[in-house]
Amino acid sequence: MPPLYYSTIAELAPQLMNRKLSPVELTEAILARIETVDAAVNAYITVMGEQALDRARQAEAEIMQGNYRGPLHGIPVGLKDLIYTKGVRTTAGSRVLRDFVPVFDATVVTKLQRAGAVVIGKHNMHEFAAGATNQNAHYGDARNPWDTTRMTGGSSGGSAAAVAAGLCYAAIGSDTGGSIRTPAALCGVVGLKPTYGLVSKHGVVPLAWSLDHLGPMARSVEDVAMVLEAIAGFDKNDPATFGGRIRDYRTGLQENLRGLRIGVPANFFFDDLDSEVEACVKGAIRKLEDLGARATEIRVPELTLVEFCELITVLAEAAAYHRNNLPEKMDLYGDDVRVWLECGAVISAVQYLKAQQARRKIQEAVSRVFQQVDVVVAPTLTTAAPEIGQTFRQVNGVSKDIAMEFVRMAALANLTGIPAVSIPVGFTATNLPIGMQIMGKPFDEPTILRVASAYERVSTVRHRHPME
């Protein structure tokens, strides 16, 4: 049996429901783990100890009275610190918002609380989600639990580190160009970017409205599915939310993969990979074939538009959001984010619309791909976790910007809105996690989670933990 802090929600929920485990004991165990470990990983900006214990006592009383709400009841979860929490400081990882205390909860928080979850704290992140490394000049860098000299990736780096190190059972991150999947891959956890509009963003500090997504991170596919069920759905306060029926994300997880069509990109995603990453992901694809899936090579020339389209879209939209704060509070921004927003400020309307034309091209190409296959699988990233402070890596004698590479690998799913999940599929020789992403048709989260779950069941990767 793993230590309590490394159990999964699926393992804990029956014990909580049957009153064999107390939400208060569970919350105290996680708070103790945070006290012991978080100095090394710096996953939390704010720990909500007293509020969490109050919620846990409330959950305990409800369960004792026979009012069990479901699998998240009494489970400690964390939030990326750009998600509004009523009465609790929400910094977005920036000094600009260091004293910002929201007067309402984000919709996702309300939904988690309705499901009985215990919000235990606010996670470290790249400032304003505007970066992929989670190096943070204001609140300190988040550090990778597998090797604390290595980066977590970002921008939801504190969330991934917290889940990986047993400092919460699940987290809610945001993903504009890979910010859930990148840190999930580098920290060895499961991270899902759902379809655009499936999860409300009301009460979340935006980075880029047309690319932002909220989604769950946890230590198993089933746990991610359970959290998604709790947070998905229409919200009148978010005009982008999907108004249709929310599907059941858990029931189909155990189904087999016989006949499932997997697309494996011949270009783009397998360019410039570290050899260990390439071998590991190709091995994982062979495992999926052994489980009955049929892999087909796909070629999508339009993928070369992804970087152009993502960069212009995210920078221009971010610059619009920061239009007033940037000139007035320039000194409060970190150097990297300030320069990035200045770049966004000089992007023209013509460039922005060119990017949206490119985006349409990409969307049409992806539509054609999904007429041939059910899912697309690819490495989440080109490499395992780089050292904190490292900005470039050498590939065949060419210097590659690491943060740009992270975004390049992830952005397709943001530009098209399709769902994508990153799962751990192995480790490097130096014990660093490697991730694989599975992308699917819009609102077909059940299929990508089924593929992820099938892999997880035949793999031992999930049972390895850092800092034991």
Partner 1 sequence: MRDLLRQALSKLGIAVAEADLAAIESFMEGLSVLGQQAEKFQLDDVVPAAVFRVEEGEDCRHFTTAPSPNLRLN
Binding site for partner 1 (CB under 8 A): 196-197, 209-210, 236, 239-240, 302, 304-305, 307-309, 311-312, 323, 326-328, 330, 338-339, 342-343, 345-347, 351, 353-354, 356-361, 363, 366-367, 370-371, 415-418, 441-442
Judged by beta carbon, residue 229 or residue 302, the one nearer partner 1 is 302
Of 7, 22, 94, 155, the catalytic one is 155
Non-local CB neighbours of 320 within 8 Å, separated by 6+ positions: 344
157 sits in the region (left: phi over 0; alpha: psi -120 to 50; else beta) called: alpha
Q: Of all residues in the chain, what percent are helix, strand and coil, respectively (each to 5)?
A: 40, 15, 40
Nearest distance in Å: CB 62, partner 1 = 35
Nearest distance in Å: CB 239, partner 1 = 4
Nearest distance in Å: CB 217, partner 1 = 23
Q: How many CA atoms lie less than 13 Å away from 59 in the CB half-sphere?
A: 33
* Contact by Cβ (8 Å): 315, 355: no
What angle is formed at CA 430 by the lines to CA 291 and CA 401, rounded to 5 degrees? Answer: 90
Nearest distance in Å: CB 142, partner 1 = 24
What angle is formed at CA 76 by the lines to CA 72 and CA 78, rounded to 5 degrees? Answer: 110
Nearest distance in Å: CB 236, partner 1 = 8
Distance in angstroms (rounded) separating the CA atoms of residues 197 and 195: 6
What angle is formed at CA 227 by the lines to CA 199 and CA 130, rounded to 5 degrees? Answer: 55
Return the DSSP state at 152.
Answer: -
* Nearest C-alpha neighbor of 312 from the set 217, 407, 197: 407
- Evaluated on CA atoms 153, 156, 160, 162, the torsion sign reads positive
Let me know if 329 is a catalytic residue. Answer: no
Distance in angstroms (rounded) separating the CA atoms of residues 39 and 378: 34
Let me know if 179 is a catalytic residue. Answer: yes
Q: Where are the beta strands (DSSP E) in 115-169?
A: 118-123
Let me know if 80 is a catalytic residue. Answer: yes
Nearest distance in Å: CB 402, partner 1 = 15
346's tokens: 């000089």
Q: Where are the beta strands (DSSP E) in 147-293?
A: 170-175, 190-193, 213-218, 261-265
Judged by beta carbon, residue 284 or residue 373, the one nearer partner 1 is 373
Nearest distance in Å: CB 8, partner 1 = 32
Distance in angstroms (rounded) separating the CA atoms of residues 412 and 439: 9
Judged by beta carbon, residue 163 or residue 341, the one nearer partner 1 is 341
Distance in angstroms (rounded) separating the CA atoms of residues 319 and 73: 39
Of 22, 179, 422, 453, the catalytic one is 179
* Contact by Cβ (8 Å): 173, 180: yes
Judged by beta carbon, residue 99 or residue 331, the one nearer partner 1 is 331
Nearest distance in Å: CB 429, partner 1 = 34
* Nearest C-alpha neighbor of 208 from the set 352, 358, 43: 352
For residue 328, count other CB atoms closer than 10 A to its CB: 9
Judged by beta carbon, residue 66 or residue 243, the one nearer partner 1 is 243
Rounded to the nearest angstrom, the gap between the alpha carbon of residue 280 and the centroid of all alpha carbons in its chain is: 21
Judged by beta carbon, residue 113 or residue 210, the one nearer partner 1 is 210
Judged by beta carbon, residue 40 or residue 353, the one nearer partner 1 is 353
Judged by beta carbon, residue 219 or residue 359, the one nearer partner 1 is 359
Continuous segment of H or E residues that includes residue 132 = none
Distance in angstroms (rounded) separating the CA atoms of residues 181 and 188: 10
Of 7, 80, 174, 193, the catalytic one is 80
Judged by beta carbon, residue 39 or residue 349, the one nearer partner 1 is 349
Non-local CB neighbours of 56 within 8 Å, separated by 6+ positions: 22, 23, 24, 26, 27, 28, 74, 76, 118
* Nearest C-alpha neighbor of 430 from the set 165, 147, 142: 147
Nearest distance in Å: CB 212, partner 1 = 9
Residues marked active site are found at 80, 155, 179
